[in-house]
Amino acid sequence: MNRRDLQNKAPGSILWCVFLLVAYLPPLTVLFAGAAPSSVQQGAFAFLNVRQLTLLGSSLVLAAMVAGVAMTLAVPFALALWRAPWRQARVARWLLLGWIVVPPCVQAMAWRGFFRWINGLLSGAVPLTGWCAAGILQLMAFLPLAIGLAWLGFDSVDSRFVEAARMQRRERAVLMRIALPLAAPGLLAGFGIVFLLSLLDYSLPSLCGVTVYTLDLFAEYTAHKDARQALLQALPVILISASVVWLSQSAFRNAASNADREPTARSSTGGARWALIVSWVGIAALLAFPLLALGRMVAGGAGGATLESAWRLVGEASWVSLRTAVAAALLSIPPAMVVAEALAAGGWRSHLAWLTATLPLAIPPPLVGIGWSVLATQVGWPLHGSSWLPVLAAMSRFLPIAALVLLVARRRLDPLLWDAARVFQPEPWSGFWRIRLPLLRPGVLAAFALVVALTLGELGATVMVQAPGEPTLTVRLYNFLHYGASAHVAMLGLFMALLATLSGFVAGWLLGDGRPGSA
């Protein structure tokens, strides 16, 4: 390999190192953190006691129930959107994007208000505390994402198989025997993703007075400040999550490999009257759900608080959140592009890259925060007390997701254009700036928007590393939900929900190219 080849590969190698450092440095820091041997020996069996085993089992059952019910409910919605005419499907896609990016704590606040209103009418028919309430709250918070994942699963179905089946079978048989089996990998991946989100989340269950395994991990570290014991206690969750990630990874890889095929045309799915009815009912229901939640936020905000008074309480936190989210998204895109290219390469290197890129998704958020906190304490300046720690924590959690989004965008491109850039551009960076980056623009925008949205709603790791006097908006709203100020929370939740919906419409407009079937 000559000097020019080394110079061409050096930037990619550096960005790969950045990804590995950001993704794996927190657990490695916890692993090698100083701890007394007695505490390590005690921590090695901390997760084997009856209380924590029971807690782990209950958390697994909760996550499985939430994921199963969410995907079961998501399939009819996704089918309705998949079969809808293109214009209606585009509007529904924008609405769904706006619904997904609303932070979970805001959705939790809205749905809790709605459930309280239902209880007033039905004399306590809906539980507000306990495991059942936690499951319902997580279900409503993760249902938009489940619908989107199920829709992606159906949208990855090769239209040629569907059109060929329609020539010989009725619509219902085509759906049951062709569409559902072909979309099963995407549905399985959606189940795994929702399962992970439910298992690793402790914010929503804690609002219902429920202690899940990750919340117990956070509480144990807060009480004893033993980082290595926290890692050992997190091992069961890491192993289970890693297994789910590996199974979902295979399904997602199969779905991504079909992303370059032409999706089923919207106009060809409306031949049956019942299909049109299902499509319109699904879109109407998709619109009704967020309107119900928004209605309760409007009613809650009418209790004397104004947007101006609420903004005075959390205005600074809002700027901190926005600054953190934009910085995390900007810094995540370059390494995510290099990782996505490795994932699309094929061969044994691609399999190794898949394992390396997706394994960080199995790390519990509190452990990510603990790792960066311990590293900042050991290093001191410039990390200790720095506002960059929440940025690094967000990158550790969401950089793999950005890489997967860019992989899907990469697979949707014409491979001939990609190969032509390599052949006819003598300088790799010239081909990257003039051909590859413009082709990847929709994927880059999607990955940027997704990292920003996820960072704005991140709580599990941020609460461990936030700089003194600089809490994020999600942390402030989470504290308000625990300690009162409901009218102010309602006004801020309404503001954030409307802003998120608007951002979803803008993202849908940016990512679409004006043609049916565009992503």
Highest average pLDDT, of 19-23, 81-85, 453-457, comes from 19-23
Residue predicted with more confidence, 64 or 11 = 64
* 133-154 b/e (C-beta count within 10 Å ≥ 16 → b): bbbbbbbbbbbbbbbbbbbbbb
State the distance between the two ends of the chain, measured CA to CA, in whole angstroms.
Answer: 39
Say what the pLDDT of residue 518 is.
44
**With contact defined as beta carbons under 8 Å apart, do 457 and 439 qualify?**
no
Say what the pLDDT of residue 301 is.
55
Say what the pLDDT of residue 44 is.
45
Which of 23-27, 265-269, 287-291, 416-420 is predicted with the least confidence, judged by mean pLDDT? Answer: 265-269
Say what the pLDDT of residue 332 is.
93
**With contact defined as beta carbons under 8 Å apart, do 462 and 369 qualify?**
yes
User: What percentage of the chain carries pLDDT values higher than 70?
Assistant: 66
- Omega before 27 cis (within 30°)? no
pLDDT at 169 over 90: no
**With contact defined as beta carbons under 8 Å apart, do 182 and 160 qualify?**
no
Query: Which residues are CB-contacts of 207 (< 8 A; sequence separation ≥ 6)?
Result: 108, 112, 134, 137, 481, 482
Quick one: average pLDDT of 12-32? 88
Query: Which residues are CB-contacts of 124 (< 8 A; sequence separation ≥ 6)?
Result: none
pLDDT at 519 over 60: no
Closest CA to 443 of 481, 396, 404, 473: 404
- At residue 513 the predicted structure's pLDDT band, cuts being 50, 70 and 90, is very low
Question: Residues in the chain, how many?
Answer: 519
Query: Which residues are CB-contacts of 297 (< 8 A; sequence separation ≥ 6)?
Result: 109, 110, 113, 490, 493, 494, 497
Task: Provide the Cα torsion 85, 87, 91, 94; round to 10°.
Answer: 100
pLDDT in tens, 369-389: 999 988 888 887 777 778 899
Using alpha carbons, list the distances in angstroms from residue 231 to 33, 130, 227, 332, 372.
10, 27, 6, 25, 13
pLDDT in tens, 32-64: 765 444 444 454 444 457 888 899 999 999 999
What mean pLDDT, rounded, does the chain reach? 76
In the chain, what are the domains?
A: 10-511 (1.10.3720.10)
3-state SS of 62-115? HHHHHHHHHHHHHHHHHHHHHHCCHHHHHHHHHHHHHHHCCCHHHHHHHHHHHH
Residue predicted with more confidence, 350 or 236 = 236
pLDDT in tens, 441-479: 878 887 887 788 788 888 888 988 988 878 888 888 787
Say what the pLDDT of residue 60 is.
94
Query: Which residues are CB-contacts of 208 (< 8 A; sequence separation ≥ 6)?
Result: 128, 129, 130, 131, 133, 134, 137
Residue predicted with more confidence, 477 or 72 = 72
- At residue 417 the predicted structure's pLDDT band, cuts being 50, 70 and 90, is low
Round to whole Å and give the CA distance between 212 and 137.
Answer: 14
Highest average pLDDT, of 162-166, 304-308, 475-479, comes from 475-479
Half-sphere exposure in the Cβ direction for 368 (13 Å, CA): 30
